[in-house]
Amino acid sequence: MRSRFDKQLMQLNKKMIEMGAMCENIIALSAKALLEGNKDNVSRVAPIGHDIDEMEREIESICLKLLLQQQPVARDLRQISAALKMITDMERIGDQAEDIAEIITYLNGRTGEECHDIRKMAEATIKMVTDSIDAYVKQDLSLAKAVAEHDDIVDDCFNRVKTTLISMISENPADGEYALDLLIIAKYFERIGDHAVNIGEWVEFSVTGVHKGE
């Protein structure tokens, strides 16, 4: 019975890794489209978002089967429960990357390179998502905690983006709509970072049995 359970748990981990990779890919594509103004990359975002939604449902099904058929206890139960929470954050990451791609279509060919810190935000959020999924698979508590610490970089970048865009508007009011679009995009990256932090906190729960929100 335990051997069967372990195989199913390995399948869950495999699917979590795949979903995490999709999240990394969709963020990277949205960021690339923003920084290069490449409409081809924009068009590739939505299909990945659909795949993320499908994977969420598939992982949810695996988790429910493990809970109902195997009746896990202790750490195994926490790991499965954490996965159910994590996929909600991962699905929202996909949604927000899609939102970024949609806004890019309104930039009229301009890119995000005029605000350099947006690139740094994108790079930081991709790393946070990658590390949070790795932490889950490896059950690595230190890596999970490092994700939250990395969020400070995203928040600092967001503050600098706001300052840059305020200066842009004051120097050239005609850029107001463009600056507002970039601010919304930066806010989505900041939210993606928050979701990665949530994932890291659920990893901590799966290891320790204590959730930060409690």
Domain spans of the chain?
2-208
Span 2-208: which CATH code?
1.20.58.220
Query: In which element (H, E) is residue 213 found?
Result: none
CA distance 199 to 85: 8
CA distance 136 to 176: 42
CA distance 183 to 171: 16
According to DSSP, residue 107 is labeled: S
Find where tokens 């309104």 sit.
106
The pTM (predicted TM-score) of the whole model is 0.92
**Residues in the chain with pLDDT < 70?**
1-2, 213-214
pLDDT of residue 212: 78
pLDDT of residue 125: 92
Residues 6+ apart with CB under 8 A from 110: 37, 178
E-assigned strand segments in 68-145: none
